[in-house]
Amino acid sequence: MILIEIAEKRGRMNDPVLKFPGAVLELNQDIDDLQDQIKKLTKIEMNDDGLPVVSGFSDEQKVTRLQIELNETRSQRESLLSIIAEIEKVFEEHKMQPCSMETIEDRIKEIAQIGRDMQIRLNAVVVDLIVRNRAITLPEIWSHPEIRAMEDSRALAIRAGAGELESLQKLKSALEPLLRDENGLCDAAFYPHRYQPIANPAQISEMI
């Protein structure tokens, strides 16, 4: 998945889009850790054919608890992967490459800035024309080839930007329902201790 690849490169972050693949990466580490713990508790013997086989566990109760936690973690990861697939499908439907929400917001800001930047350059050329010719009139300024070319370019950029801006806003609206994480899957992955029941009275007293 593209979003998981992006999250791997950028690391853990609170981006509304990347928090989902980030949570998957967190759970992948948890799954590896749980499997390692089970492996350390596993008794291996050689059978009659000289092949290694599992003969039991040094602490079966602990292994049972770890296996239950492992299954729950895998289920949680599958739920997140399903959401990521839906998110990437939304990007595909809007003919855009999956990316972070930060990237989308940055592009929206860039589009808004394009017209302003071009207007500043246009104003600078107008001032330069006036400085070089104090008698120049407004019709002469706006009919000047350089001014006309810049104004045409600015109008074209604004129209193009308006179309892209509309597409980005529609993309954000389509993504919004998927990014709510109403079941708290991401928080459960990043902060598992908050979602684990505390049975030890001493631990409860420490948290009060």
For residues 19 and 31, what is the distance between their CA atoms, to the nearest angstrom?
18
What single-letter DSSP state applies at residue 95? T
User: Amino acid identity, residue 133?
Assistant: N
pLDDT in tens, 50-105: 787 877 778 889 989 999 999 999 999 999 999 999 999 999 999 999 999 999 99
57: helix, strand or coil: strand
Please say whether the beta carbons of 18 and 104 come within 8 A: no
Q: What pLDDT score does 172 carry?
A: 95
Burial category of 85 from C-beta neighbours within 10 Å (exposed 0-12, middle 13-18, buried 19 and up) = exposed
111: number of CA atoms within 13 Å, CB side?
19
